Each structure stands twice: as C-alpha cells, then as structure tokens.
Structure 1
Amino acid sequence: MPRMNLLRGPLVVVLHLLALSHASPRTYLGKDELLRRQIDPGSLKSAYDYIIVGGGQSGLVIANRLSEDTTKTVLVVEYGTFDNNPSQVEPSSATSYPPMDLFNVTSVPQPGIGNRTGTVYAAAVVGGGSTINGMLFERGSAEDYDNWEKLGNAGWGFSGLLPYFKKSTTFNTPIDPSVVADANITWDTSVYGTDGPIQATYPPWVWPGTKIQFKAFSEVGVPTQFEAAGGNSYNAFWVPSNVDANGRRSYARNEYFDPAQSRPNLSLLVNYRVNEVLFSSTKRAQSVTIQARGTANGASTITVNANTEIVLCAGWLHTPHILQRSGVGPKALLTAAGIPILSDLPGVGSNLQDHPAAFIQFTYKTDVFPNPSSLQTNATFAAWAQQQWTQLREGPLSLTTGNSLGTIPLTTMNPTGYQAIISKALAQTPATYLPKAYTAEQLAGFVEQRNLLTASYGSSTNGIFEIPFNGGASTALCLDKPMSRGTVTLKTTDRYAEPSVDYNTNVNPVDVDLTISAARFYRTWMAAPSMQQLGPTELTPGTTLTTDAQLNTWVSGSMSSSTAHSCCTAAMMPQNLGGVVSPDLLVYGVTGLSVGDISVIPLIPATHTCATVYAIAEKAADLIKARAASPGNPGSTSSTTSISSTTSSTTSTTSSTTSQPTTTKTTTTTAPVPTQTHWGQCGGIGWQGPTVCAAPFTCKVSNPYYSQCL
C-alpha cells in the first residue's frame, strides 16, 4: 500500500471521557534499574536545603532546576512510583489511564448533572499528569494569562510566562514535509524554545476528514490560525504533541528527572505520603512528616527537615489537603477536624475549576476513506497502519489524542445571544451559586473573576468552548471557562483519608447556557456546505430536542465533571480576595513554604494544561532560586497583595509581612517609563513588562530568563 499523506485522529476525541486502551503487554524494568532512580527511606538525611512535596510534573521540573546548584541538596517525596511499562511512552498511551497511576477518588454527587458522581483524575506516579495525559501540547490565549495578572499577579501575564513556555520546550520540524504541505500545517518557531527539555512536533498523519472539517469551520466564521502558541489559541488551529523524534512521549520523568537523577545532591523517595508540614514557633515551615504508602493511618512517620524552603507540588487535589492538615486553611473546617489553626486561609481548597464536557454524537453516511473507524472496520488498512508504525514510526498510529482543535469564542458560537448570557451572569447574586463556606473575601474574589470571565465571554480573541476534531463525527464539547466553583476539603473524621471533592458542575446556570450555545453551534458547523459531502446525521442530543428546556435536560444527562484539567485550589490571588499564595508563590501567613503546581492557577485557561504547568514550574524554580540568593532570604515571607474591588482598575497595593517597604503603584498610559516595585520581574528573555526598578532597588539578573528588583 503506498505511503498515505494523511494525519490520524484518535479512536475517541477526548480521552478523558472515553479512554480506550491499546493492548500492550506490561513489561517492567528490573529491580536494579528502579533502585538507581530512588533512595531507600533508611538513606534519608535529617535535613535537605529543599524538600519538594510531590514528584509529579511540576515537582520534577523544580527538582531539576534547584539541583543544578551543586551546593544545594534537594529531596522529592512522591506518593506514587515509576511506571516503567514501555507502552506508557507510546502514542497509544494517550487514551489509556492505568489505575495504578491514579488515586482512587470519586467526587460527591453533583446536583447540576443529575446527582451523578464522577471519577477524579489525579495522578499517583512519578511524572504525574505528564505521564498520563493525551499529549496535546498547546497553550492558552494571551488573554487567559493576562487575566491572571489582572487579579493582582504582576509578572504572570502572557509576556511574563512566554519565556518559560519557551524554556521548557524544543520544537522539532515535522518529519514528513509532504504531510505538512498536504494539510497546510503551519507554525512559528519563534514562540518555541530551541533547547528546552520537552520535545514537541506535529505527528506524521492527518485523516482526510480533518481537512474537510477545517474548511467547514471557515464557512461558519472560524478561521484557521497560522500559529496558536504565540497567544492566539482561539478559533481553529493545529496542535503539536509532546513527543520526541521517535514519536514517544516526552514528559517530566524522562526529560527533567532522568537526566538529573545521577546528581548526588538530588534524592527521590517514592511510595511515601507527606502527612503534614511542621512549623517553628515563628510560623516558619521547617520540616515534613512522611509515612509509607499502604500503612494504616497512625502508623510511624519520619520527620525530615528543610533548611531553606518546602515546596508543595502535590497537585490540585493534595496540595490543599496537606495545607489543611498542617493548620493552613479555612478556620471552620480546621476547627471541626480538631486541627490547630496556624493561618486562617479560607481559600485553601476552594476555587476548584475543570473543563466539564458534554458528549455530542453525529454519524457520517458517506464518510471519506480512510477515517478513524477504518482501523476497526478495514483489516487491510489496519495491517498497513501497524506496519507503518512498526517500521517507520509513522502512519495513523503515530497520533496521540489528536492534532487539531476548535476553541471557539462565545461571540462566534452565539452572536445574537452572548450579551444576554453576560448580562445574566453579572446580574446574579454570587453567593447563590457558590459553596456555602465562601467568606466575604472569597465572594469579592469571585466577583473579580466574574468580571474577567464575562469580558472573555464578549471577546473575539478568547475561546469559551473547545471542540476537538480529527475527522470523526462525534466529539466532546468542553467548557473552557466555567462560572461554577468547587471545593477540595479534608474529611473531618479522618484527616488522612482522601479528601472530599465537589466540582459543583453546572451549579451555576450560566454554564448550562454556554453548553447549549456550543451544542447549537456544533449543529451549525455540521450543516456547513463542506460537511455535506460526509452526510452528517445527528444522534444526540437528537433533532427533536430544539428548545432550551429540552437541551438543558440533555446537558444534565450528558455532562461530565472533569477532563483531567482540575486546578486552582491554592489560588494565586490577593489574600483579601481569598487567595492562598502571592505572586512569588509563597503561602500567606507563614514563611518558608511555597506552592509550585497547577493549584496556584486563579482562572483555568482555555487549553489542555500540560504546557502551562511546565511554564509555571519553570518560573517557580527561578523565584525560589532568587529568594535563596537574596541576602537574609527576605523573600521567604510572602507579600500580601490587594487589588481594588473592580477589575477594570489598574491600581494595586502591595505590602509585606516583613519590614519591606509598602508601595502603592498606579499604572497609567501616560507613564513614560513603567517601574517595577520590590520582588517584581524586571527583565529576561521575552520579558515585555517594566524593566526599571523603583528606587532604591535595582534590577538583578538571576539567569537569562529571569531578573528581579532587589
């Protein structure tokens, strides 16, 4: 069979909703190989300069960067272990979630989706979510990250994060130029790195139906982006995969940890749970207690000290859980659990967000050949595909979850009704649809978020719904900007049991309105002229469901709470708005403790979260290094940031819990030279913010990517 210049889509379009396992025998590396990658608990030192809680995606990035300094010792404590199954790095692993790599947690019943419970996707494996994900490697739009900055987080807009997106990544030219030309795949190398650990490229396969779908999008007002990674990830675009030159998974374990594992100053302890962070009488984090996985609660623990800083990278599920167990969290919850209150932070475990998804089904009467189902229905084609992959590492089996996305603005999905949805959201009394435990500060923080979200709803340069497409007729409609908020809370009767997860999916009726808009738009897309050659026919919701009330019922029955993008439970926001960490990622109310994982995100971006987590972790490592390099390490105390009660204001007030000066900064368009106050980033590759420091501080360079006012 001749070589086919087409690109393959997945057997299912969203692995989180319908994961299919491509059978492969499990073969594990030997005992000696495992021991080379980890330490025995008996080999633990009494103290390390840094203790990183969690050896997932962010934890391994930070461990690699901190251990670059050979004078600093770094310990990583990970609850999971290594997944050495060779198939876990193959493209087929994008649609396989091995139970051994996940925590066994189920959400509480969700009233917004018919009281159904849902699987909680949280990785329990070295490499974390980078070990088990769909390998779609795109970024959010510039507006997504600029909204973080507008919530009082200087340096966390797109221009501040772009250097870290680049630092973490190397883009490789696709191996088959004929596929590129045939499908008109385009990219801009300037927005990628050239020597970053994570490899990214476009797989050498396209289903012919994908090209038809791109054309149909253009017919309904959705143009194709030349390159989305530079801040333009809205409308329709091609998506690279994080795979190496052989098409295998490129992830935190093999690109960040494996090259650094032989460093004598880096230690990884697996199969151990961190119970608590222990603090000194001055509220400085000084040690962690750890317990062997599988032992009963109350079993013996080991205490390990940290000389410089403890970094929480236990993910959206367990970073807030550990904080709560350590006495940092909502006062009422900790009191009910009998935990002494060290820092009353109501936001710990709140603000939970994900990308809920509704599955919509069509079928094609006259599908083109080959198509995704051909791998199951045509033995000759399936054999050819296997041969292409085995001999050339090309063909349909080179694809992961997919390679093309539509991230559609609400103004495109619902041009006549989007303003009514915005008005409905702004008219709500926030407390009506938020968790009952929300304090006045948290309510104020949500109002700030709502102002930004509704602005995004009215933006033509920010997507609200993701539509994955790869030639197939059915897909998942993924809500990228939900208005509902969930919680992660410890169980007061057993603080060491897995926490309670409540997504509050669709509790806010605005989310239902958005989903109905997406379903109607999908129908419009399927009715585009180019699609008619495929003969699309609707199966669900079904052509008889036309009213909002009917579609509301369908949404309730179809929606899933999670697409494994949970985040935001230790949000980077001002403390007076319910935030947990400041822009330097230090936890409010204590010292020597920071968070470096996905839980610090304040507003979920409209993207798969993998690339964003790498950027967060890379920036976190630079912040940690800069603190350690500062005389007296004053940055180990988090600053308390506040912003005014209206998001449109550009005035922010920053005060420190130490003797650092209190500065009020007002940014105006007439300022000839913007200045940056203490601790703010002031330069580095790709930095486009203020480069001049306010007196008496000067800009000190830490590395080519980061500098700050000291």
Structure 2
Amino acid sequence: MLRLAATFVQLLALTRVCLAYTDALSELHARTISPSVASSTTYDYIIVGGGQAGLVIANRLTEDASKTVLVVEHGYLDTNPAQEDPSSATAYKQHLLYNLTSTPQTGLNGRSGLTVFAAAVVGGGSTINGMMLDRGAPEDYDNWSKLGNPGWSFKKLLPYFKKATHLALPDPAILKEFNITWDLSAYGSKDTPIEVSYPSYQYPAVKVQYQGMIEAGVQPQKEGALNAYALFWFPGALTKKEVKRSYAVSGYYRPVADRKNLHLLTGYRVNEILFNRFKRATGITFQARDTPAGENVQTAKAKREIVLTSGFLHTPQILQRSGIGPAALLREANIPVLVDLPGVGANLQDHAVGSTNFQFNTDIIPNPGSLTSNETFKAWADELWATNRTGPRSITVGNVGSWLPLPLLAQDDYKSIVATIKSQNVSELLPSTYDKTLIAGYKIQRNLIASSYSRNTFGAIELPFSGRGSSSLSLEHPLSRGTIRLNTTDIYAEPLVDYNTFVNPIDPLVIAKSVKFVRKWQSTPAMQQLSPVEVAPGADLQTDEQLVASLRDSAGPTTAHGCCTAAMSPRLHGGVVDEKLRVYGVSGLSIGDVSTIPLIPGSHTCSTVYAIAEHAAELIKKRTAGW
C-alpha cells in the first residue's frame, strides 16, 4: 500500500511539474526567431554558439538595451522536465549530444570509436552534465597567468566565479552528521544566476570513506571552492528549494529571454566567419543543421564584434573553415589561408580516466545499491521525492572527494617522476603537426606542470566517492596533447578528434600510482569495517608496469571535459587568443568559451566556463563601449 501511494503521489507531482515546465518552455520556444529575421537584421554582436558560455555572454551584453545580440545555436531548447532533475546527472541522452567518435588512440592500444562528448543543446554542457560545480585549485589558474596571460590568476578570476554562483546552505541535520564545511566568501550574493547546494541525503558509508581518506594521509579542506586540493565537500548545480538543475538556461537565458534586443536562433549551423579586406570580422554564414552543405545558406551581419562560443570541438572547426588555422591543413582542404595560426585545433586536453572496483562484503545498509535491491528502501525514497523532493533521489553524482597530489600518490619516487617530465624530448611525444611555436609553448606548460606536481597544493588525480565500492580516477593534468582538425574531404562533417591519450608515458603512470593509493585507502582501519575485496583491476596486478598495461586496455580518454583548442597564450607560444580573448591576426573576433583555456584545471570544467564567460563579457563591453 505504501508503495502504491508513493507511486500515485509521485505521478501527480510529476504531472504538475511537467505541465508547468512545458508552459515555460513553450514561452521560450515562442521567443526564438526565424532565420529570415537573423539575416535581415544587422546586430551589434553575434554569438556563435548558444551553449553555456554563449548564454552568459548574451545575457551580459544585452544588459544595455541599446545593443542588439544574435545567438546562433546548432542544438535546440530541451523540453524534457526530467533534464532538470538530479537523475539527469547520470543520464546522458544522445539527442542532446553530437554524434562522433575519436580516431584510433595509439596510447590506448589502438582502440577506436571512443565517444566524444560535446553538447548539442541550448545551454551546452551545463544542460547535460553531472552537475559537479567545483573549481580548480588556485595554482591551476595561477599557471594560466604564468603562461603570459595577465589578469587570469585565481585572485583575478575569483570575482567572476562569485559573479556567477551563490551557495544555499545545507540542511542542519546533514551538515552536522557529515561535517560538511563551507566558506561563504567563495560565493556571490543570492541574486547571482547559478545556485549551488547540497542534497538532503547522504549514504552513511560516505562518513566511513571520508575517515578512511584521512587515515590514508589526505588533508581535509574547509572549502573546495577556495582550496581545491586534498579532501573536501563540494556543492552541486541544483536549486535547494525546487531541487532542479541550475544551469545557463535557467540562470542566464530564461530570466531575460523576453529582452527585445536578444535574438536566439536554434537548429542552425554556422559555416564560416566573414571578413572584409582589412581582416575585420563582419558577419557569419549559416544554414539549417540537417540540410546538405551549401543549401539555403544565409548571412547575418555584426557591427561591433563576433564572439565564438562553440566549444572545444566546433570553435576551432569554424575558425579553420574561415581560413584561420594551420596553413598546411587549410590548403589541403582547399580553404584560402586568411591567418596561419597553428594553435587552432591544437593543445587538446581532457581528463583521461581509469577505475577501480571493490566489493564491500559487510556494506552498510542503506547504500546506493539499495535503490534497486531493497524494495522497502526504494518505496521510501520514491515517497520522499514525490512529496517534497528530498531523500536519496536528491543526490546527483556525489558531493565529496579527494584531489590527490603526486607526493602523496608516489611518496618514494615523485621526485624522479618530476625529473623525468623535465628531461623528456617533447618533440617525440607531441603530434607531428605541431610547429615550433606549439612546441615552445608546450615546453613552458610542461615545466609549470612539473613544478606544480612537486607540491601538495595541486591535485594530480580526482577521486570522488559517494558510498560505492567503485572509484573513478581522473587524470587532472595530462601531459599528452591532442588535436581537432577539419575533415579535409568534407569540411562540414564533424572534425577529426585525436585525444592522443597516454602518448606521454607519465600519464598512465600517475593513474597507476593512484590505483595503489586506492588499495591503501581500502586497507585503512575505517574502511575495514566494510570488508572491501578488490574486483578490478585485480590484486594480481602489482607493479607499475602491470597496471599501466591494464590501463592502456581499459582507461577512457575523456570525462567530457574537452578544452584548450583555441588557447589563450602568446602567439609565439602557439596561442590563438590574447589575454583579452581576441583572435590573433584579425579584428572584431573573439572567443569566450572552454577552448580558450591554456591548461586544463583540476576540476570539472563547468564552473570555470562560467568565470571565463563572465570575464569575456566584461572585456567585450569595455573595448566596444565607445563605438
């Protein structure tokens, strides 16, 4: 009877939510424009990509009612209310993603057909992700500044992080039981667009795992948003009251969608950026995304600036199609070279990921598996969710983890690993298409990573936990570098993606060290109460060499954190944009998305993209203020 009542209440509540959500989305759909409007209007700004960064910049630029903005997005507005529920954090729907796979990965024993994660929906990666809104460590962003990008240190970026997000405090009972800590100085005021919060439930084994981490030598932090290394709690991108996804659509677009000076065109692909004879960007060509190349191509014009926010995948592709990129590649594709810029599509980074799995023979009940194995617990969880949106179903992917420094992972030999990094012949480890500027820039990156690897304030591996016996081990600062390059036989097809995962042998070695750390963690007195038994990779794999070999067969090249393919760095070091995010060699064109990152931060990228986009909008406003 309890189960039937819970189901009825849940269905009734879901019906109400669906109706309200559908009404809201219908209004948003009604406000999108037709291609004829876009092509017949001259705008102040055109934003190429209505993903996460594009919506942030559009919101800020249209604060001035006298300035007009067109946003062109390949995807559509999502209309599924479930996409705003916590469960969507682990349910990636294919229709919201581009459909492509990587080239064969030599560092992964030639494996091919590996999924490339890139969002094809309004709101981009904020619409379809795990809702982990953590930041990198201060050292991550300080390294950006050291690459020749003044104004991009952690201290300089912190105001933009705060401008985007505010924290809703956790429920008193949960914070007391699990000792959740925070520092409100890391966040903005309550009127900022994105709310982050903690769920109303945590599984009891999380306390055991947390204590085990401390016993394994990991230092707890008070606030991960200020000190994102070692052990800390982090909030998720969820509103506390409604327990719904807080993302670029809800925070930046929906509240301003009725602005007369903001136009959103969905379902259209931008083909090229147009330039005048002075190499100034003046407009774009675009066409319906599902039509053959060259069919019904239209043009939109911009007076002030065109801003690329098409992500790590398509920002470099659009630049290359527009004649900006490696000259040899453009000539092979029969594209006239406007600017020979080798860094376009280079410097690709992502968080490669390995895993371990332990069976808990004396697991605490309830645990995450109880939602499927225990009917009474499932009925209780369903009733809580249906009646007041609390309980286990308010959890996304978890809210606590460790960002493990190399000196902890490899106490006996981290110095020799760092020495090896510094002595490597990088030309042998980088893609053959990299020119001398990219090699020079990479050497500077390499030295910064090597230096940071020597310290305890720089997480080498991300290890989140949520009461399960399985662990993902994400490599936070890869030394390998990949490429995004046009398909020269069909430039309007999806580009060729080569992560180049594990080509640098240090990368799988660092993950191998983290596998050994997991074993240490599982053997702590705290964890022994769960009676953990290793299932994978298997206790018979003991040496670094054995673990590395296993990782080449099993690790993934991506955690959907692709970035860095139009990097902010000096042009002589392979950069694509300067510290003000302006594309080298042309005028009137800037980039404001994840592709501008020079070194991937040790975090999920969503929070960092908000800060980049907020900063980009401010830079654009300042340089065009007098026009």
Distance 2:290 2:28 in 1: 19
Contact 1:421/1:513, CA 8 A, preserved across alignment: no
Distance 2:339 2:526 in 1: 59
Question: SS at 1:88's partner residue?
Answer: helix
The equivalent residue for 1:556 is 552
Identity over aligned pairs, percent: 53
1:572 aligns with 2:565: no
The equivalent residue for 1:42 is 36
1:190 aligns with 2:196: no
Among 417, 420, 424, the alignment partner of 1:424 is 420
Counterpart mapping for 1:54-453 below 5 A: 54-117=49-112, 118-174=114-170, 176-194=171-189, 195-230=191-226, 232-244=227-239, 245-453=241-449
What is the deviation of 1:510?
A: 0.7
Contact 2:29/2:77, CA 8 A, preserved across alignment: no
The equivalent residue for 1:494 is 490
Distance 1:52 1:330 in 2: 24
Q: Which runs of 5+ in 1 are unaligned?
A: 1-21, 634-710
- Encode CA deviations 1:515-536: one digit per residue, 9 max, x unaligned: 1111111111111111000001
Q: Which of the pair has the greater relative contact order for Cα pairs under 8 Å at 6+ separation?
A: 2
Contact 1:207/1:372, CA 8 A, preserved across alignment: yes
What letter is aligned with 2:503?
V
Distance 1:502 1:406 in 2: 29
Among 44, 47, 66, the alignment partner of 1:52 is 47
1:470 aligns with 2:466: yes
What is the deviation of 1:592?
A: 0.2
The count of aligned residue pairs is 608
- Encode CA deviations 1:447-477: one digit per residue, 9 max, x unaligned: 0000011011111101000001011111111
Distance 2:18 2:449 in 1: 45
1:507 aligns with 2:503: yes
Question: SS at 2:529's partner residue?
Answer: helix
Contact 2:162/2:188, CA 8 A, preserved across alignment: yes
Question: SS at 2:129's partner residue?
Answer: coil
What is the deviation of 1:42?
A: 2.2
- Encode CA deviations 1:310-361: one digit per residue, 9 max, x unaligned: 0000000000000000000001100111111111100000000000101211
Contact 1:273/1:293, CA 8 A, preserved across alignment: yes
Question: SS at 1:475's partner residue?
Answer: strand
1:480 aligns with 2:476: yes
Question: SS at 1:425's partner residue?
Answer: helix
Moved over 6 A (4+): 25-28
Contact 2:397/2:466, CA 8 A, preserved across alignment: no
Contact 1:290/1:301, CA 8 A, preserved across alignment: yes
What letter is aligned with 2:249?
R
Contact 1:214/1:224, CA 8 A, preserved across alignment: no
What letter is aligned with 1:595?
I
Distance 2:401 2:602 in 1: 11
Question: SS at 1:29's partner residue?
Answer: helix
Distance 1:463 1:257 in 2: 34
Range with bigger deviation, 35-44 or 327-336:
35-44
Question: SS at 2:22's partner residue?
Answer: coil
Question: SS at 2:534's partner residue?
Answer: strand
Question: SS at 1:218's partner residue?
Answer: helix
1:586 aligns with 2:579: no
Question: SS at 1:199's partner residue?
Answer: strand
1:29 aligns with 2:25: no
Contact 2:28/2:254, CA 8 A, preserved across alignment: no
What letter is aligned with 1:86?
P
- Encode CA deviations 1:419-465: one digit per residue, 9 max, x unaligned: 11111111111011100011111100000000011011111101000
Counterpart mapping for 1:581-620 below 5 A: 581-620=577-616
Question: SS at 1:291's partner residue?
Answer: strand
Distance 2:415 2:381 in 1: 48
Distance 1:151 1:614 in 2: 21
Distance 1:335 1:46 in 2: 33
What is the deviation of 1:46?
A: 3.1
Distance 2:157 2:262 in 1: 27
Distance 2:124 2:618 in 1: 21
Structure 1-normalised TM-score?
Answer: 0.84
Counterpart mapping for 1:687-698 below 5 A: none
Distance 2:159 2:30 in 1: 33
- Cα pair distance change 1:296/1:26, threshold 3 Å: farther
What is the deviation of 1:206?
A: 1.2
Question: SS at 2:72's partner residue?
Answer: strand
The equivalent residue for 1:542 is 538
Contact 1:351/1:485, CA 8 A, preserved across alignment: yes
What is the deviation of 1:300?
A: 2.1
What is the deviation of 1:26?
A: 9.1
Question: SS at 2:44's partner residue?
Answer: strand
- Encode CA deviations 1:53-91: one digit per residue, 9 max, x unaligned: 000000000000000000100000000001110000000
Distance 2:568 2:533 in 1: 45
Q: Which runs of 5+ in 2 are unaligned?
A: 1-13
The equivalent residue for 2:8 is none
Distance 2:71 2:162 in 1: 25
RMSD: 1.6
What is the deviation of 1:255?
A: 1.0
Distance 2:135 2:355 in 1: 23
Distance 2:601 2:426 in 1: 21
What is the deviation of 1:551?
A: 1.0
- Encode CA deviations 1:254-298: one digit per residue, 9 max, x unaligned: 110011110000000000000000101000000100011100012
What is the deviation of 1:35?
A: 3.4
Distance 2:311 2:222 in 1: 33
Distance 2:152 2:79 in 1: 35
Distance 1:548 1:137 in 2: 33
Distance 1:274 1:404 in 2: 40
Distance 2:575 2:316 in 1: 12
What is the deviation of 1:205?
A: 1.1
What letter is aligned with 1:361?
N
Distance 1:26 1:173 in 2: 27
Question: SS at 2:533's partner residue?
Answer: strand
What is the deviation of 1:33?
A: 3.1
Counterpart mapping for 1:651-690 below 5 A: none
